Amino acid sequence: MVDNSSSPFQSPVVPEMYDGDKKISFACYKGIQCFNACCKSIDITLTPYDIVRLKQRLGMTSWDFLREYTVPYELEKDGIAAVKFKTRGETTECQFMTEEGCSVYEDRPTACRYYPVALIAMRRQDEYTDTNSFAVVKEEHCLGHREERELTIDEYRAEQGLEDYDELARGWRQLILKKKSSGPAIGKPSLRSRQLFFMASYDMDRFREFVRSEGFHRSFKIDDELYQTLLEDDVELMKFGSRFLQQVLFGEETIPVTEEAREALEERERQAAREQAESSEEKAYDPASEPVDIA
């Protein structure tokens, strides 16, 4: 199963795209001849919300889940990263596949819920909003398309519980689309920005420790009620992470900054002007050790 749900379509062959009212014929159930076939050859990108659901389901920290069940990859060379499911051993099988089906079915990832539909989110370089379309994936092994059960793509999405999944991944998708559509205009993200993107997107437990850190509080002003929510609620922390990354990657002030952080930024800008944009060597970065760049 190939996941095209998290970024603009990468294939040189552009698929036929549909709106949500497109009717399809499809059914998947235990007993169909191809049952589990899609789980035996996976290429599944995980959204931040997928990771939150799965790590909670398994009772793991986000870091332990990432280490045991995923592998990172670059969305573009020297760019921000995404994570995919790690397959079982030397095979291409999903680690959660059993003879009875998916062992985490209630918390299965977005891509699994969508199959055989693909969400294609796009943003053109001269546009400020993204648009969603859908494609229908027909693979030789999948016999579900032969089933006489007709419904629209929107009905299928509702059936699979995708409204919440799509809404909660929207901030992350918009960050990726904005970065891709900006092209060379904003340049390559620094090592520090890439580390922050990974942490605030995928590693909620480590991001929570960062929010607790002295460096964060020297940089950002958040009220006590929001702060307490971020310490207790993974989903709210995940949504806050998207706001935080708008600031880190694009310089949009989505979170109020402290005077100390603002003065530090102004001093860096003055220094950069004096040095006429001479580049300096990037250093290893501990995200909890110092104030955060806000642009």
Q: For residue 219, what are the domain limits?
A: 189-274
Nearest to 48 by CA among 75, 4, 83, 85: 83
Same domain, 173 and 60: yes
Category of 67 on φ-ψ map: left (φ > 0), alpha (ψ -120 to 50) or beta: alpha
Q: Is residue 6 within 8 Å of 122, Cβ to Cβ?
A: no
**Of 129, 152, 181, which residue is a domain's last?**
181
Residue 285 belongs to a domain: no
> Using one digit for the tens of pLDDT, what is the confidence trace for 211-268?
999 999 999 999 999 999 999 999 999 999 999 999 989 889 899 999 988 887 778 7
Asked whether residue 7 is assigned to any structural domain, the reply reads no
Query: What's the angle, vertex CA 84, arms to CA 82 and CA 89, rounded to 5?
Result: 145
Does any domain span residue 284? no
**How would DSSP label each residue in 232-249?**
H-HHHHHHHHHHHHHHHH
Q: How far apart are CA 14 and CA 280, in angstroms?
A: 41
Q: Do 194 and 176 share a structural domain?
A: no
- Distances, alpha carbon 226 to alpha carbons 219, 233, 270, in Å: 16, 10, 33
Put simply, whether the predicted model's pTM sits higher than 0.75 gets the answer yes
Cα separation, 130 vs 13, whole angstroms? 21
pLDDT at residue 47, rounded to an integer: 98
Regarding whether 143 and 45 lie in a shared domain, the answer is yes
Q: Are residues 208 and 268 in the same domain?
A: yes
Relative to beta strand 70-74, strand 81-85 is antiparallel
11 by Cβ neighbours in 10 Å (0-12 / 13-18 / 19+) ranks as exposed
**pLDDT above 90 coverage of the chain, percent:** 69
**Residue at 86 is within a domain:** yes
Query: Are residues 203 and 173 part of one domain?
Result: no
Q: Say yes or no: 170 and 241 in one domain.
A: no
Cis peptide before 256 (omega within 30 of 0): no
In a domain, 233, yes or no: yes
Q: Is residue 1 a contact partner of residue 115, using CB atoms and an 8 Å limit?
A: yes
> Are residues 107 and 193 part of one domain?
no
Rank 71-80, 220-229, 283-292 by mean pLDDT and report only the highest. 220-229
Whether 117 and 44 share a structural domain: yes
For residue 220, tell me if it sits in a domain.
yes
DSSP annotation of 262: H
170/206 same-domain check? no
Measured CA to CA, the distance from residue 114 to residue 112 in angstroms comes to 5
On whether both 269 and 162 belong to a single domain, the answer is: no
Q: How many domains does the chain have?
A: 2
The string of pLDDT tens digits covering residues 84-142 is: 999 999 999 999 999 999 999 999 999 999 999 999 887 655 555 667 899 999 999 99
Give the pLDDT confidence score for residue 59 in this predicted structure: 98
H or E stretch including 75?
none
Query: Residue 71 falls within a domain, yes or no?
Result: yes
pLDDT, tens digit, 9 for 90 and up, residues 176-209 = 988 877 766 566 888 999 999 999 999 999 999 9
In a domain, 293, yes or no: no
Beta strands 117-122; 101-102: pairing state? unpaired
Q: Within this chain, do residues 39 and 163 fall inside the same structural domain, yes or no?
A: yes
Report pLDDT digits (tens) over 167-176: 999 999 999 9
Q: Of the residues 115, 148, 181, which one is the last residue of a structural domain?
A: 181
Of 27, 24, 4, 42, which is closest to residue 142 (Cα–Cα)?
27
Domain finish residue from 141, 157, 181: 181
User: Is the domain of 49 the same as that of 119?
Assistant: yes
